[in-house]
Amino acid sequence: MALRIIFMGTPDFSVPTLRALKEAGHEIVAVYTQPPRPGGRRGLDLQKSPVHQAAELLGLPVLTPLNFKQEEDRQTFADFKADVAVVVAYGLLLPVPVLEGTRLGCYNGHASLLPRWRGAAPIQRAIMAGDAKTGMMVMKMEKGLDTGPVALTAEVEISPNITAGELHDKLMLVGARAMVEAMSKLEADDLPLTPQPEKGVVYAAKIDKGETRIDFGRPAIEVHNHIRGLSPFPGAWFELEINGKPERVKVLASELAEGNGEAGTVLDDALAIACSEGAVRLTRIQRAGGKPLAATEFLRGTPISKGTKVG
């Protein structure tokens, strides 16, 4: 028999899992997501989350409580009499009455190899730290932050130049397949749980805008990882003088380059920039208010000569 599932998620990352569970034949009795937020070009229109929009297209009921502090919201959750809740990037910490509000509990799809990178920004932090691999883990949720026992793991290589955005898109599809497999095993009463090890716990703190400026005084590999870990959002940036005025330039892609020099110095006519050790070549950049451009295209309109200092 198919499982009765409450799905809980908010961003684009969650949508493939919702669709995959529906296509696998499970009964999605309700979808929980974050309430509509101000958005649009002027920031005045209320925008439904990607999960909200996807659920409506699938004809599924959608609920958007601000939190689960109200007893009425907790009771509504319990009244669905679901077998299990599936949580993928929902954006709320769930209280114990919700965690225990279904027959089989809540299972979370998390984008890291736990216990490494528990928390809000596991994809970005893994790249910024230079990790060689990551993955999707399905775990049974408990009160602690990403501390529950692991049910299923799907590893993914982090290639040398992949950006956080590209890895995000890969992991969300891997995660959808992993969750469908986990729910199939749960339905068959064949989903063993393994406690997370106590060693190796690392927290993936939310990205702060104060850490987005590029520091060319670091080794090239660290600068490169910083750039790709923050691409496309919020984006790593440096300051460049254009037409006599300092301007922020966002870097969306880079690669390691040959060459040495004073940190922050442009080494050639193709945007190789010296770091404290080695150099990085900026390959995709964006001026404030402009569109993303390949570095070659950017340089046709805004030449940056060898010897220029940036930072």
φ, ψ for residue 74, nearest 5 deg = -65, -40
The two three-digit tokens of residue 192, written as one number: 């063993």
- Identify whether the C-beta of residue 3 lies closer than 8 Å to the C-beta of residue 83: yes
Alpha carbons within 13 A on the beta-carbon side of 45: 6
φ, ψ for residue 224, nearest 5 deg = -60, -45
Q: Which residues define the annotated binding site for (6S)-5,6,7,8-tetrahydrofolate?
A: 112-115
What is the Cα–Cα distance from 39 to 47, expressed in whole angstroms? 6
What is the Cα–Cα distance from 195 to 52, expressed in whole angstroms? 33
Packing angle of the helix pair 164-187, 15-23 (nearest 10 deg) = 30
**How would you classify the pairing of strands 4-9 and 84-88?**
parallel
The two three-digit tokens of residue 193, written as one number: 């749980």
Among 98, 162, 79, 77, CA closest to 127: 162
Taking the CB of residue 267, how many other CB atoms lie within 10 A of it?
21
**How would you classify the pairing of strands 236-242 and 245-257?**
antiparallel
Q: Would you say the C-alpha torsion 159, 162, 164, 167 has a positive or negative sign?
A: negative
Q: Rounding to the nearest 10 degrees, give the CA dihedral for residues 75, 77, 81, 87.
A: -150
Q: Which residues define the annotated binding site?
A: 112-115
What is the Cα–Cα distance from 282 to 153, expressed in whole angstroms? 34
Burial of 227 (0-12, 13-18, 19+ CB in 10 A): buried
